[in-house]
Structure 1
Amino acid sequence: MGVSSEDFVPALAGKDVDDVVILGGGLAGLFCALKLAPRPVTVISNAPIGQGASSAWAQGGIAAAVSEQDTHKKHCDDTLAAGAGICEDKIVEMMTREAGERVRDLLSYGVPFDQDLEGRLELSREAAHSENRVVRVRGDMAGQAIMAALIAAVRKTPSIRLLEGFMGESLMGEGRYVTGVLARKRGGLERMAFPAHAVVLASGGIGHLFGVTTNPGEANGHGLAMAARAGAVIADAEFVQFHPTALNVGKDPAPLATEALRGDGALLINAAGERFMEGVHDLAEMAPRDIVARAIHREVEAGRGALLDCRDAVGKSFAERYPTVFAACQEAGIDPATQPIPVAPAEHYHMGGVLTDANGRTSLDGLWAAGEVAATGAHGANRLASNSLLEAVVFAARIAEDIQGLMPTPRSAYWNEMDSEPGLPSQRNTDEREAITVLRETLSRNVGVERSADSLRQALVDIGQAEARCQRVSIRNMMTSGRIIAAAALKRAESRGGHFRADYPDADPAQARRSYITLDEVNAIAEAAADQAAGNSVSNAMGS
């Protein structure tokens, strides 16, 4: 396909060219860089390595069929069931089959997964899994421990250059070929070009586009927008997963009460102490996340509130078994051993993203994608718990193998010294800060747990008006990603998985397929929404 975007930056001649540039310092980016060693790799990270990565915040762990009673076929079947009919079957089969090998890789990098006295991995069960297959670290610290081990390994690997504090803004290219990344140092105005033979997008998700999210502030959709502006095909963008049990204590980002608590028997109750999931789904508290999230959302909207009651299931052992959640509760003045925890749904994971194949290749030559920014088809309409970290490492490894096979033997790892002097401080921009607030509020209100045609059109209008006040590319990237999600959600006139339309509350068998969209189509849908809104305003004015 051709590239038609006005924002695809031409390649720069006469620049040193890296073998591989990876945009993103989370699990997918670092794992890919390690797998590429000793090939020279530059990793560009928005924040200090590990600090801005959603991977480090993951509490549950990695799903893998590594026990004697489990099989990757069972894991595959559970994933397909959660995906509500639109997973790519072969992708899921491949991912679950390779899961054990990737866990062994992580063990070799020093990840301290929980083990019993005989050295066997200790496994837990999360929602919609038929077996105990979630590999954890100290109950709820898997993401933090995995990232700590990988960061240590990366810093010991001389072929990996880390550039921390650089924000990717645009892709460079020639025709349909991606040839590098244009980035800006945070707090500065100057943009820097990073030409490369291969670019890997591992920039994370879109959580911070919403008013309530469990993701760090760096999860702002930049990579998704950069790829869309360059002409890449985006898939399944309407499917956004809302974690049912974020702590409802007024914090941004919202602390997460891991699903493993419900796996250990914690119950969901309303303010009157009544369980409400029993009448909603046969699996009650262990129902798929989208069902639990909607049930909690409705209790909160009805004024009855929602609380996670861990008193009997976990009780006095809470601090030892779930130290991360315990600390968040303590900070909010809650003792989870003796008090129910107030919870509410929060944006947690984006099943959609940049369309890729089984090797992580996108629709643009020279561009690969891995992790939450990618849409591999592994998650369908609703991600199965603890499959996100698994997908990141499986596809990061496949991308590394693919790139190694395409390029000649790597040269020695050497780069010219980077000018690391900070640029001029960016000017405060009140309009842009207000525009971001509008974006987050409208996505949470109109493109959240429940959507409708009216709410989605309103979101497109609101985002368009907010975007008109934005100058910086990084802020426009956030607006672009918001428009992509809203437009894709408007296209799918049914409810499926993480996408629930109040005006189309049932699944339509004819729409049991993946969705694909480009930025040109997004712009056309947004323009039609704006025209309809303008027409309604004229009609209302004439009627009054």
Structure 2
Amino acid sequence: MTTRDETCAHAPVVVVGAGLAGLTVALDVAAHRRVIVLAKRRLDEGATAWAQGGIVGVLGEDDSIESHVRDTQEAGAGLVDEDTARHVARHSAEAVAWLVEAGVPFTHDPAGPLGLHLTREGGHAVRRIAHAADATGKAIHDALLARARVHPNIELRERWMAVDLITQHHVGGEPRCHGVYALDIDRGHVETLRCAGVVLATGGVGKVYRYTSNPDTATGDGIAMAWRAGCRVANMEFIQFHPTCLYHPQERSFLITEALRGEGATLHLPAADGVGERFMPGHDDRAELAPRDIVARAIDFEMKKHGVDHVWLDARPIVAEKGEAFLREHFPTIHARCLALGIDITHQPIPVVPAAHYTCGGVVTDLDGRSDLPGLFAVGETTYTGLHGANRLASNSLLECVVLGRGCAGALLTDAVEPPARLPGWDDSQVEDADEQVVIAHNWDELRLVMWNYVGIVRTTKRLERALHRIKLLRDEIQDYYASFRVNRDLLELRNLVVNAELIVRSALRRHESRGLHFSRDFPRALPVSFPTVLTRAAKSSR
């Protein structure tokens, strides 16, 4: 048996990202091997802490693995990998129990399974969402981060950003990932990190769009790094737009959880005297409980049809049925945030709009997080595992992070290989300090506007072609800038965003149908048989 002292003498595992996926892997690996976790901003700034709704657990007597698999497949519009969905569903109760043991303060119900209150969200046949009021992600993240902070084998590096992966070809063998170049943002210094394995857990690409529910960390760093290293990516055309983000000039990224609709809130058009006609029953028999892509498209359609800037989400039906105390108790974060902006959701409707929310595609991995490149793993929103298909079922994302994150930890410990004693260092001898940061800011704004206008909820081939043309020009400008000046976080994020933008558009152009989150006016019907969109690129030098 290997002792901790012997283990720590070995090269560490590097986990890029400090959200639920990254911390799950880190905590399980750290029982056997030293781990370095990189967070490019504060440790509490990732997308996990922003998740409101909850985590799926097949726990109730009225529920079953088969029911969860069916709901996942239906939401995924024919592109869900059934084996993946069943694997995740089968381990869902275990995942929730693991989080309970880790100290996550889920909302209790003495009569509920595991003593938990279960709620329901769009696309789910029954109540199966374990939650901590309406701030589940923060509750989970706080609990796991607290454990990671005191673990002797985990080193948390705040304000460190991965730049690129370090790969080497061996004589007669395939390339392998042996490390990562990482920028110490405060010092402006790039360090070469040798490691026995790299885990990409950097989240999605929401910041590629002008309007998003995502934090500033969501710039697709892991997807871009894996792509540059030669890994396949899949299903990048399927960007989930959350139907209901708060529409307010002082709050552009605040999500209004789907659980509010699950408890009875309804969507309405604006009217001269306030709340107008309820419109979702005219779009889908499930009304407000339809999957997110249907609700988002319906809102987008009604906004464009009536020329309005937002629609109303009315929580007063919940008050009428269950009382004001229930609404405040189960949705305290939303109630407090809206109240601070002058909106009392117990008496007033909430102005909402769709916004880019979740990336259903990403780096192709197996169920243990292995990518195409030996030594490189990926977990969570960074990946494509086949779970989400053409659309993600609500609250499956946190579940995926835990189930596949724990599987990844086991695979990583099995596959770990000591890196060479010397790896090529970072060479910035031929570059200088940037002369004008305005170039980065301008390209960032232009890229996000192009994506919002041309590659949004409803698409056309002409719009996609125009977007691809402009993105390629921006890519060349950004690459030229990157090759000439020393790196900083803004430049690295922009470099990664433009890669992801091109992957999204190229994937969308390949899909000649409308399915799930991808809706094309030129191909409005779904094909009888459909397959994932897989893009392949040969590995090239990272600098």
Task: Give the TM-score normalised by the residue count of structure 1.
Answer: 0.87
Q: Paired residue for 1:275?
A: 278
Look up the equivalent residue of 1:197 and give its one-letter code. A
Tell me how far 1:197 sits from its aligned partner. Answer: 1.4
Q: CA deviation at 1:518?
A: 2.4
Cα distance between partner residues in 1 of 2:435 and 2:266: 48
Given that residues 215 and 253 in structure 1 are in contact (C-alpha distance below 8 angstroms), is that contact kept between their aligned partners in structure 2? Answer: no
2:317 is aligned to: 312
Q: Does 1:243 align with 2:242?
A: yes
User: 2:507 aligned with 1:488, yes or no?
Assistant: yes
Q: Is the 8 A contact 2:51 2:135 kept in 1?
A: yes
Match of 1:102 in 2: 95
Aligned to 1:172: 166
Conserved in 1, the CA contact under 8 Å of 2:176 and 2:373? yes
Q: 2:519 aligns with which of 494, 500, 506?
A: 500
Deviation of 1:427 after TM superposition, in Å, equals 6.4
Paired residue secondary structure (1:349): strand
Give the C-alpha shift of residue 467 in structure 1. Answer: 2.8
Post-superposition CA distance 1:257-305 (Å, at most 9, x none): 1001111111100013101111110001111110100010112222144
- Unaligned 5+ residue runs, structure 2? 1-8, 170-174, 419-431, 483-490
**Contact between 1:106 and 1:146, CA under 8 Å: does it hold in 2?**
yes
Say whether the 8 Å CA contact 2:363–2:378 is kept in structure 1.
Answer: yes
Contact residue 18 and residue 194 of structure 1 kept, 8 A: no
Q: Provide, for residues 417-474 of structure 1, a one-character-per-residue CA deviation record: whole Å limited to 9, x for no partner.
A: xxxxxxx997651011110001111111111101111111111122222233322461
The equivalences for 1:242-261 within 5 A come to: 242-251=241-250, 253-261=252-260
Structure 1 residues 160 and 427 mapped into 2: Cα distance closer, same or farther (>3 Å)?
farther
Residues 69, 195 of structure 1: alpha-carbon distance in 2 compared, 3 angstrom cutoff: same
Distance 1:250 1:442, change over 3 A: farther
Q: Return the match for 2:360 from 336, 351, 360.
A: 351
Displacement of 1:519: 4.2
What are the equivalent positions in structure 2 for 1:316-465 lying under 5 Å apart? Answer: 316-317=324-325, 318-407=327-416, 429-465=437-473
Report the Cα distance in structure 2 between the residues aligned to 1:408 and 1:233, rounded to whole angstroms.
Answer: 22
Would the aligned equivalents of 1:25 and 1:202 in 2 still touch at CA under 8 Å?
A: yes
Pairing partner for 1:83 from 43, 65, 76 = 76
Residue 408 to residue 172, structure 1, CA distance change in 2 (3 Å): closer
Cα distance change, pair 251–179 in 1 and its aligned pair in 2 (3 A): farther
Aligned residues of 1:182 and 1:193 also touching (Cα < 8 A)? yes
TM-score normalized by the length of structure 2: 0.87
Q: Is the 8 A contact 1:24 1:45 kept in 2?
A: yes
* Cα pair 2:363 2:371 within 8 Å, conserved: yes
State whether structure 2 residue 307 is matched by structure 1 residue 301: no
Which segments of 5 or more consecutive residues in structure 1 lack a partner in the other structure? 1-15, 410-423, 522-544
Contact 1:64 1:75 in 2 (8 A): no
For the aligned residues, what is the CA RMSD?
1.9
Judged with a 3 Å threshold, the aligned counterparts in structure 2 of structure 1 residues 379 and 459 are, in CA distance, closer, same or farther, namely same
How many Å separate the matches in 2 of 1:376 and 1:224?
A: 13
What number of residue pairs does the alignment pair up? 489
Write the letter of the residue equivalent to 2:324: K
CA–CA distance in structure 1, aligned partners of residues 109 and 300 of structure 2 = 38
CA distance in 2, matches of 1:253, 1:50: 19
Q: Distance in 2 between matches of 1:326 and 1:26?
A: 25
Q: Name the SS of the counterpart of 1:313 in structure 2.
A: helix
Q: Is the 8 A contact 1:17 1:195 kept in 2?
A: no
The residue identity in structure 2 corresponding to 1:286 is L
Deviation at 1:332, TM superposition (A): 2.8
Change (3 A) 1:508 1:223: same
Measure, in 2, the Cα distance between the counterparts of 1:29 and 1:448: 29
